[in-house]
A = this chain, B = another copy of it.
Amino acid sequence: MEAAARVIARRGVRGLRVEELAAEAGVSTALIYYHFKDRAGILRRTLEFISDRAERYTSERETPARPLDPRRELEQTLLLELQDEPVVRENSTAWGELRANAVFDPELREDLAKATLIWVQETAELLGQVSPMSPAASLAASAERLTALLEGLSMRWLSGILPLTHARTLLLEAVAVELERLDRK
């Protein structure tokens, strides 16, 4: 699965060749078919693996030295996706691929929609901790904007047209902008 994540990060979902995956994992192609039904099966399981891994490492923020203040926690959670660590890059790339492929492949949409919804809800919850007086609808809208923005920035970063530090700055400002609005209402 790790090899698959690496290959997808390097070539994209549609660029994944079973032979290349086998080479990356240091095994024969036949063994891949021993463990997976077919190429689609490889993809399905890999994307599951990646989203599990993403959840896991998103939750790792749960264990900082002492409870962070909510604003910082929100910021950290969002910025987690904008880091130049191999695992993060892999995950972001894979997510971007998943989204891009869902445009043409309805089969992928369900997983994508579910994962996105969860992410938006988590973000809305964090926003609610920072700005407890805000109505749920406003929190949800802010969360949708922030997560969609993050996806846009992430894509620009990964395609090399936006430096990482700049992406992070823009995101933090967006958080500030949204919070100011929430607090003012």
Contact = CB atoms under 8 A, between A and B. Distances in A.
A10 B19 CA distance: 28
A177 interface: yes
Interface string A67-107: 00000000000000000000000000100110111111010
A103 B158 contact: yes
Q: Is the interface of A mostly helix, strand, loop or mixed?
A: helix
Contacts of A160: 102-103, 106, 109, 113
A96 B104 contact: no
B93 A159 contact: no
A159 to B, nearest CB: 4
A125 to B, nearest CB: 18
B159 A141 contact: no
A145 B159 contact: no
B14 A161 contact: no
A23 interface: no
A44 to B, nearest CB: 16
Nearest to A97: B100
A156 interface: yes
Interface stretch (A27-35, A53-61, A127-135, A146-154): A146-154
B161 A112 contact: yes
B155 A99 contact: yes
A162 B150 CA distance: 16
Interface of A: 10-12, 14-15, 93, 96-97, 99-104, 106, 109, 112-113, 116, 141, 144-145, 147-153, 155-156, 158-162, 169-170, 173-174, 177-178, 180-181
